[in-house]
Amino acid sequence: MIVHIKLPNDISYDVIIDKLNLINFDKKAVLVTNCTINSLHLDYIKKYLKIKDLSILTLLDGEEYKSMQTIETILNHCFEHKLNRSSLLIAFGGGVIGDMTGFAASIYQRGIDFIQIPTTLLAQVDASVGGKTGVNNKYGKNLIGAFHQPLAVYIDTFFLSTLPKREFSSGVSEIIKMAVTFDKDFFIWLENNTLDNEENIKYAISKSVQIKASVVNADEKEKGIRAVLNYGHTFAHVIENETNYKTYLHGEAVGIGMLIANEVSIKIGLMNKQEALRVKKLLVSYKIPTSYLIKDSEDFYEHFFLDKKSLDNNIKFILAKGLGNYTISNKIKKEDIISVLKDFS
Ligand code: NAD
Ligand code: GLY
């Protein structure tokens, strides 16, 4: 299956599902991966890569290495291997590798091409598509970065066979996010089908990629509708930050964030309790955590202003409107948010 991402200025590309044999570039390239994926899947991917001149860069594994320092490592490797402006970077890994490789590609000699070969479910359904690239710094997550679209994305569910269950569920959380905000039929499908077999997983990936494609096609640079993909994230980023990125995986924090957002939706009449319960039930069925102890609601609220989407002192909340629809609002009253946050304390 191929999903087309249609963008202006000649940067359209395809997300190609289950056709790794199409990876064919007459270019000098660096494949960027980490030590975990290297030992599990490097031999497998090498069989498919038709690349003129390939070198491999293996980084340490972990969100804590998603930093400017690692970008420097990638760029240095590119210079040492004499990549030029027509060379290629290959991101082979989860969202961390994808975001960093994309960012390095966006700045190496003012920008070179890169492709994504995502190996986690989260990266296959979300992070590898849409061209958001970047790194974290001491001020927060993904605060340094660029929009830089890949030349193509190659998804293969084979890689998911080695993914730890928790990581898999973290990806499911992002799938649920897309269904709740954009596609009620898909949400109902997820309620009635389990992602425990190849066929269902492929279906859920292709549905999610199609949803993401339609959003990115409409709003590449997040001036409007693309912000909806951040449903649950405003709360999730605070949770991740408060727990030093150690307690929860990104998708897990997003799961809790969606539940907090849904309570806000209920409070202002956008969702009924039954609908919120259905989202919770679906998350629970994948063992995605659904509770978080907010110690200080005011402090939690103040954290929103550290999020890059709120740097102008205006917090934009993405809320589900029933199932399969959304609202974007910067007019939610502070007292309504605080009252919901207190229910989690
Ligand atoms: P990750 O890249 O850290 O991967 C999770 C873990 O799984 C890592 O330990 C990794 O080495 C391991 N792994 C990867 N593939 C594997 C496989 N096939 N088998 C076994 N282990 C494997 O995390 P992630 O969840 O993929 O991505 C999270 C990151 O993505 C965050 O940094 C987040 O900010 C970013 N993100 C970006 C976007 C975007 O649009 N650019 C969207 C969502 C998330
Ligand atoms: N993951 C959010 C986005 O791509 O916009």
- Do residue 231 and residue 155 come from a single domain? no
Among residues 41, 77, 136, 174, which one is catalytic? Answer: 174
**Measured in angstroms, how far is the CA atom of residue 328 from the centroid of ligand 2?**
15
Nearest ligand to residue 309 Cα: 2
- Name the residue at shortest CA distance from atom 29 of ligand 1: 95
Number of domains in the chain: 2
Question: Using a 6 Å cutoff on CB, does residue 226 contact ligand 2?
Answer: yes
**Measured in angstroms, how far is the CA atom of residue 79 from the centroid of ligand 2?**
30
Name the CA radius of gyration of the chain, rounded. Answer: 20
Give me the half-sphere count of Cα atoms (radius 13 Å) on the Cβ side of residue 150: 27
**Measured in angstroms, how far is the CA atom of residue 92 from the centroid of ligand 1?**
10
Among residues 212, 267, 303, 309, which one is catalytic? Answer: 212
- Do residue 239 and residue 156 come from a single domain? no
* pLDDT value of position 303: 86
Task: Determine the Cα–Cα distance for residues 288 and 284; give it in Å rounded to an integer.
Answer: 5
* pLDDT value of position 307: 63
CATH number of the domain encompassing residue 226: 1.20.1090.10
φ, ψ for residue 138, nearest 5 deg: -65, -15
Residue 260 to residues 234, 254, 256, 275, 322, Cα–Cα distance (Å): 10, 10, 6, 13, 15
Task: Determine the Cα–Cα distance for residues 221 and 119; give it in Å rounded to an integer.
Answer: 25
Residues of the chain with pLDDT under 50: none
- Do residue 247 and residue 111 come from a single domain? no
Do 38 and 56 touch, CB atoms closer than 8 A?
A: yes
pTM for the full model?
0.95
Residue 224 to residues 87, 230, 323, Cα–Cα distance (Å): 33, 11, 20
Alpha helices by DSSP H, listed for 225-249, are: 233-242
- Do residue 153 and residue 236 come from a single domain? no
- Do residue 215 and residue 318 come from a single domain? yes
pLDDT tens by residue, 223-259: 999 999 999 999 999 999 889 888 999 999 999 999 9
Closest C-alpha to 102, from 156, 153, 150, 152: 150
The range of the structural domain enclosing residue 24 comes to 2-162
Active site residue 192: no
